[in-house]
Amino acid sequence: MGALDECHYNVELENGVNLGNCVEPETMVIEDAVRVLLQGLGEDINREGLRKTPLRVAKALREGTKGYNQNVKDIVSGALFPEAGLESKVGHAGGAGGLVIVRDLDFFSYCESCLLPFQVKCHVGYIPSGQRVVGLSKLSRVADVFAKRLQDPNRLADEICASLQQSIRPTGVAVVLQCSHIHFPDFRSAIFDPNHQRWVKTSFKSGSGVFDDEKADSWTDFFSLLKFRGLNAEFATSGGLVCKSWEMGSSDPAMLGAVSSIICSLGEDPSRIELLETPARFLNWLMNFKNCKLDMKLNGFVRNGNFGSSVEEQHICSEVNLPFWSQCEHHLLPFHGVVHIGYYGSNRVINPVGKSLLQSLVHFYGFKLQVQERLTRQIAESVSSVLGEDVMVVVEANHTCMISRGIEKFGSSTATIAVLGRFSTDPTARAKFLQVIPEMS
Amino acid sequence: MGALDECHYNVELENGVNLGNCVEPETMVIEDAVRVLLQGLGEDINREGLRKTPLRVAKALREGTKGYNQNVKDIVSGALFPEAGLESKVGHAGGAGGLVIVRDLDFFSYCESCLLPFQVKCHVGYIPSGQRVVGLSKLSRVADVFAKRLQDPNRLADEICASLQQSIRPTGVAVVLQCSHIHFPDFRSAIFDPNHQRWVKTSFKSGSGVFDDEKADSWTDFFSLLKFRGLNAEFATSGGLVCKSWEMGSSDPAMLGAVSSIICSLGEDPSRIELLETPARFLNWLMNFKNCKLDMKLNGFVRNGNFGSSVEEQHICSEVNLPFWSQCEHHLLPFHGVVHIGYYGSNRVINPVGKSLLQSLVHFYGFKLQVQERLTRQIAESVSSVLGEDVMVVVEANHTCMISRGIEKFGSSTATIAVLGRFSTDPTARAKFLQVIPEMS
Angle, alpha carbons A253-A259-A260 (nearest 5°): 85
Q: Of the segments A290-294, B1-5, B369-373, which one has the largest average pLDDT value?
A: B369-373
Q: Which domains does chain B have, with CATH numbers?
A: 25-286 (3.30.1130.10), 312-435 (3.30.1130.10)
Question: Which of B412, B433, B440 to substitute to test the interface with A, most A CBs within 10 Å?
Answer: B412
* CA A383 vs CA A69, A190, A344, A390: distances in Å: 50, 20, 12, 9
Nearest CB to A380 within list B70, B93, B407: B93
Q: Which of chain B's residues have a Cβ under 8 Å away from the Cβ of A372?
A: 100, 136
CB pairs under 8 A between A and B: 303
Whether the CB of A243 is below 8 Å from some CB of chain B: the reply is no
Q: Which of chain B's residues have a Cβ under 8 Å away from the Cβ of A136?
A: 372, 399, 401-402, 414
- Nearest residue on chain A to B431, alpha-carbon basis: A221
Closest approach of chain B CAs to the CA of A276, in angstroms?
32
Q: Are the Cβ atoms of B377 and A86 closer than 8 angstroms?
A: yes
Q: Are the Cβ atoms of A93 and B376 closer than 8 angstroms?
A: yes
pLDDT digits (tens, 9 = 90+) for B174-185: 999 999 998 876
Of B342, B437, B355, B338, which is closest to residue B395 (Cα–Cα)?
Answer: B338
pLDDT digits (tens, 9 = 90+) for B24-44: 889 999 999 999 999 999 999
Q: What is d(CA A373, CA A361) in angstroms, rounded to the nearest whole number?
A: 16
pLDDT digits (tens, 9 = 90+) for A223-253: 998 866 544 567 877 777 888 888 777 789 9
Q: Report which DSSP code applies to A248.
A: P
Of A38, A48, A33, which is closest to residue A327 (Cα–Cα)?
Answer: A38
Mean pLDDT of A11-23: 47
Whether the CB of B91 is below 8 Å from some CB of chain A: the reply is yes
CA atoms B207, B209, B214, B216: torsion sign: negative
Q: Report which DSSP code applies to A213.
A: S
Q: What is d(CA A224, CA B440) in angstroms, rounded to the nearest whole number?
A: 12
Q: Which of chain A's residues have a Cβ under 8 Å away from the Cβ of B423?
A: 91
Contact A177, A120 (CB under 8 A): yes
pLDDT digits (tens, 9 = 90+) for A300-314: 444 443 444 555 578
Q: What is the ipTM of this complex?
A: 0.88
Closest approach of chain A CAs to the CA of B247, in angstroms?
33
* CA A66 vs CA A155, A278, B271: distances in Å: 17, 20, 43
Written in H, E and C, the secondary structure of chain B is CCCCCHHHHHHHHHCCCCCCCCCCHHHHHHHHHHHHHHHHCCCCCCCHHHHCHHHHHHHHHHHHCHHHHCCHHHHHCCCEEECCCCCCCCCEECCCCCCEEEEEEEEEEEECCCCCEEEEEEEEEEECECCEEECHHHHHHHHHHHHCCEECHHHHHHHHHHHHHHHHCCCEEEEEEEEEEECCCCHHHHHHCCCCCCEEEEEEEEEEECCCCCCCHHHHHHHHCCCCCCCCCCECCCCCCHHHHCCCCCCCHHHHHHHHHHHHHCCCCCCCHHHCCHHHHHHHHHHHHCCCCCCCCCCCHHHHHHHCCCHHHCEEEEEEEEEEEEEECCCCEEEEEEEEEEEEECCCCCCHHHHHHHHHHHHHHHCCEECHHHHHHHHHHHHHHHHCCCEEEEEEEEEHHHCCCCCCCCCCEEEEEEEECHHHHCHHHHHHHHHCCCCCC
Count CB atoms within 10 A of the CB of residue A74. Answer: 17
Does A415 score more than 50 pLDDT?
Answer: yes
Average pLDDT of the residues of chain A: 84
pLDDT digits (tens, 9 = 90+) for B91-145: 455 554 589 999 999 999 999 999 999 999 999 999 998 788 899 999 999 999 9
pLDDT digits (tens, 9 = 90+) for A139-192: 999 999 999 999 999 999 999 999 999 999 999 999 999 999 988 766 667 666
At position A348, the amino acid (one-letter code) is R
Parallel, antiparallel, or unpaired for β B100-111 and B150-151? Answer: parallel
Of B56, B43, B16, which is closest to residue B400 (Cα–Cα)?
Answer: B56
Q: Which of residues 94-133 of B touch A (CB under 8 A)?
A: 94-95, 97-106, 128, 133
Nearest CB to B221 within list A79, A377, A430: A430
Q: Are the Cβ atoms of B220 and A427 closer than 8 angstroms?
A: yes
pLDDT digits (tens, 9 = 90+) for B391-408: 999 999 999 888 877 777
Q: Which of chain A's residues have a Cβ under 8 Å away from the Cβ of B172?
A: none
Strand-pair partners of A264: none
- Nearest residue on chain B to A409, alpha-carbon basis: B105
Q: What is the per-residue pLDDT for A9?
A: 37
Whether the CB of A436 is below 8 Å from some CB of chain B: the reply is no
Nearest CB to A98 within list B105, B229, B377: B377
Whether the CB of A413 is below 8 Å from some CB of chain B: the reply is yes
* A400-404, B46-50, B192-196, range with the lowest pLDDT: B192-196
Whether the CB of A229 is below 8 Å from some CB of chain B: the reply is yes
Does B316 score more than 80 pLDDT?
Answer: yes
Whether the CB of A11 is below 8 Å from some CB of chain B: the reply is yes
Does B429 score more than 50 pLDDT?
Answer: yes
Does B303 score more than 50 pLDDT?
Answer: no
Q: What is the per-residue pLDDT for B152?
A: 94
Parallel, antiparallel, or unpaired for β A413-420 and A369-370? Answer: unpaired
- Nearest residue on chain B to A52, alpha-carbon basis: B78
Q: B7: burial class by Cβ within 10 Å (0-12, 13-18, 19+)?
A: middle
Mean pLDDT of B61-87: 85
Whether the CB of B18 is below 8 Å from some CB of chain A: the reply is no
Q: Within A287-421, where are the H helices?
A: 301-302, 352-366, 372-387, 400-403
Nearest CB to A415 within list B70, B103, B425: B103
Does A51 score more than 80 pLDDT?
Answer: yes
Does B14 score more than 60 pLDDT?
Answer: no
Q: Which residues of B61-93 are buried (b: 16+ CB within 10 A; e: fewer)?
A: bbebbbbeebebebbbebbbbebebbbeeebbb
Whether the CB of A137 is below 8 Å from some CB of chain B: the reply is yes
Closest approach of chain B CAs to the CA of A251, in angstroms?
31
Contact A65, A110 (CB under 8 A): yes
* CA A349 vs CA A363, A436, B286: distances in Å: 22, 15, 63
Q: What is the per-residue pLDDT for A293?
A: 60
Q: What's chain A's length in residues?
A: 441
Q: Are the Cβ atoms of A83 and B402 closer than 8 angstroms?
A: no
Contact A389, A307 (CB under 8 A): no
Q: Which of chain B's residues have a Cβ under 8 Å away from the Cβ of A396?
A: 225
Of B336, B358, B365, which is closest to residue B185 (Cα–Cα)?
Answer: B336
- Nearest residue on chain A to B228, alpha-carbon basis: A439
Of B33, B108, B190, which is closest to residue B404 (Cα–Cα)?
Answer: B108
Does B247 score more than 80 pLDDT?
Answer: no
Q: What is the per-residue pLDDT for A76?
A: 87
Whether the CB of A213 is below 8 Å from some CB of chain B: the reply is no
Q: Are the Cβ atoms of A221 and B430 closer than 8 angstroms?
A: yes
Angle, alpha carbons B322-B325-B330 (nearest 5°): 135
Q: Report which DSSP code applies to A250.
A: -
Whether the CB of A349 is below 8 Å from some CB of chain B: the reply is no
Q: What is the per-residue pLDDT for A22?
A: 63
Q: What is the per-residue pLDDT for A63?
A: 92
Q: What is d(CA A162, CA A158) in angstroms, rounded to the nearest whole number?
A: 6
What is the percent of chain A where pLDDT is above 70?
Answer: 81
Q: Which of chain B's residues have a Cβ under 8 Å away from the Cβ of A434?
A: 221, 224-225
Q: Are the Cβ atoms of A79 and B14 closer than 8 angstroms?
A: yes
Q: What is d(CA A188, CA B284) in angstroms, rounded to the nearest whole number?
A: 64
Q: A297: burial class by Cβ within 10 Å (0-12, 13-18, 19+)?
A: exposed
pLDDT digits (tens, 9 = 90+) for A298-356: 544 444 434 445 555 788 999 999 999 999 999 999 999 999 999 998 755 567 777 88
Whether the CB of A332 is below 8 Å from some CB of chain B: the reply is no
